[in-house]
Chains A and B, each alone.
Chain A
Amino acid sequence: MQIDFQHVNFSYNLKTIFRVDALKDVNLAIDTNEVTAIVGKTGSGKSTLTQLINKLLTPSDGAVKIDQFINTPKKRAHRKQLQALRSEIGFLFQFPENQLFADTVLKDVEFGIRNFHPKDQDYEKKAKAALKLVGLDESFYERSPFDLSGGEKKRVAIAGVLAYQPKVLILDEPTAGLDEMSKRELMELFKKIHQEGVGIILVTHDMDIVLKYASKVVVMDDGEIKKIGSPQAILQNEVEPYHLATPNVYHFAHQLIAQGKKIDLNRVKDVTTLVEEIKRHG
């Protein structure tokens, strides 16, 4: 799927004294065959940008084209079109509390399927399968999604998006609040889903994840896109001005290079590839 931002401006509270210009003339083409990571400092506009893709927000000016659909202030969308768009673009909110609503975990996860695919009789089975994918067993089915730990809530929210099998997943800080093991398992799960043809757009502050999983990185600052490139190109250069960090493996590799060791950073993505690269040069 192709997503195109064309001269997009977005302001909160546009015609009031509380106006905030959150996006300024954003132009961006996202090909969902790539895993796109959106990074940048606090308040730079990442969550705002992603919410334009499934029309949770409408641009103040300009247009976002999502395949056949156009999100622009000039054109009102019909309920049906909107429903179709949202069934294809799954959205995970930054805080799971903004997503959960039903009185049981199972109903919460079933909701997306029943809402977007009302003819699907397999909703219960699919919801249970999604919960299993995120590591929640049957003891969670009848519990309230609000009476859970932070990481458990996050998993229910993720299961709720996976369950109705959207074509694109927009994940706003999917690993925040997860323990290390789950973090890894879930990223591997997203990678697998992507290989099966689902688009992934990721907002994250975790540069180790960006390096390992993204194929394209969009750097935002103060409502503008400052850089677009491969994770290697972005993270091998100066990251400080954008409040990013150098991934651990690069940090260590830089020290080896400074001592005269040959390392091709473009081959380094994680600990395994770093060690392979050290070995390759003897």
Chain B
Amino acid sequence: MKPIIKLENVTYSYRPSVEVLKHINLTINPGEDIAIIGHNGSGKSTLGKLIISLLKPRSGRLLFNGIEINHKNDNLIRAKTGIVFQNPDNQFVGVSVADDIAFGLENQCVPHEKMEEIIKTYAEKVGVLDLLNKAPENLSGGQKQRVALAGILAMLPDLIVFDEALAMLDPKGKQEISELINAIKQEHPRLTIIRITHDLDEAFHSQRVIVLDYGEIVLDDTPAKVFQEEATLKRLGLKTPFIVELNNALMKAGLIKEHEYQPHKLVEKLCK
């Protein structure tokens, strides 16, 4: 399979002499569902923007479907990828929610008669159907995030970067939107998903977890393997998932002798 994204020895700096990404090598195949985690300022958003060529490497190169991307041909990747920004205000271009969702579709040259239907479908999917005529800046935090999501999902690009795109949603909304993304992914198995997140449960449910630390990839593996690296995660300022933390506390209190990460088995053990 040809990778959809390949970063070769990529380095990035915003300011001279401060490298915020260092020698990144990364291969992403079509259809992968990847989580990127790491402490504040570790370079997650920067990496997300480099992957879709919103930022250009200072050195090294980016290949999209095998083609090297530069300033002249970056429309190739622009048309096929999308990002939901960390702050949805950075996303909005339209005067109304409907306009805003339409914007991406217009760029894709979707015919007008089809557009209305697509807008309605996706507004309904993310639960903002009743907000279509409102100005995006007059929405609540969670409503803004939903609108930003609708705009990108409606375009159905080949690759989407979600940069903490669920952070302001209520718990139920978070679950609903996660399920929606999973459903869209099921329908379009080649859709590549990159979730930048501080929510380790969300990361736990992806297929591959990349851990950044001061601009370097320090772990890149399945969630099961990554979350076993307790010492490393702790050193990086990342919490261990709840069940791991509970195990540790139970061990320390002498209530169990061995780790048991399956909740129902742990319950059984404790109830004996």
Contact = CB atoms under 8 A, between A and B. Distances in A.
Bound pair (A, B): yes
Contacts, number: 135
A6 interface: no
A207 B143 contact: no
A190 B252 CA distance: 28
Nearest to A43: B140
A259 B265 CA distance: 12
B105 to A, nearest CB: 24
B39 A278 contact: no
Given A97-B87, A255-B267, A42 B169 contact: yes
A27 interface: no
Q: Of B143, B171, B252, which is in contact with the most chain A CB atoms at under 10 Å from its CB?
A: B171
A182 B138 contact: no
Given A243-B171, A243-B173, A149 B41 contact: yes
A279 B253 contact: yes
A40 B141 contact: no
Contacts of A207: 171
A155 B38 CA distance: 16
B138 to A, nearest CB: 7
B238 A180 contact: yes
A42 B147 CA distance: 12
B3 interface: no
Interface in A219-271: 240, 243-245, 248-249, 252, 255-256, 259-261, 271
Interface string B32-44: 0000001111001
B93 to A, nearest CB: 16
A205 B253 contact: no
Nearest to A244: B171
B164 A256 contact: no
Nearest to A22: B140
Contacts of A147: 14
Counting chain B residues whose Cβ lies within 8 A of the other chain, the interface size class is 35 or more
B170 A173 contact: no
Contact of A41 (B39, B170, B263): B170
A33 interface: no
B203 to A, nearest CB: 11
Nearest to B200: A180
B135 to A, nearest CB: 8
Contacts of A43: 139-140, 142-143
B142 A42 contact: yes
Contact of B253 (A252, A259, A275): A275
Interface in B124-173: 134, 138-143, 146, 164, 167-173
Contacts of B14: 147
A243 B40 contact: no
Interface stretch (B50-58, B184-192, B239-247): B239-247
B41 A173 contact: no
Contacts of B139: 43
Given A41-B170, A271-B249, A274-B246, A47 B263 contact: no
B146 A180 contact: no
B250 A275 contact: yes
B41 A177 contact: no
Nearest to B44: A149
B242 A248 contact: yes
B170 A94 contact: no
B89 A97 contact: yes
A41 B168 contact: no
B45 interface: yes
A132 B138 CA distance: 34
B218 interface: no
B1 interface: no
B198 interface: yes
B215 to A, nearest CB: 11
B267 to A, nearest CB: 5
A110 interface: no
A252 to B, nearest CB: 7
B40 A256 contact: no
A260 B86 CA distance: 44
5 contacts: A42-B140, A181-B239, A182-B237, A271-B245, A279-B255
Q: 9 closest Cβ contacts across the A-B interface?
A: A151-B40, A42-B142, A181-B237, A245-B171, A180-B239, A243-B172, A259-B271, A243-B170, A248-B242
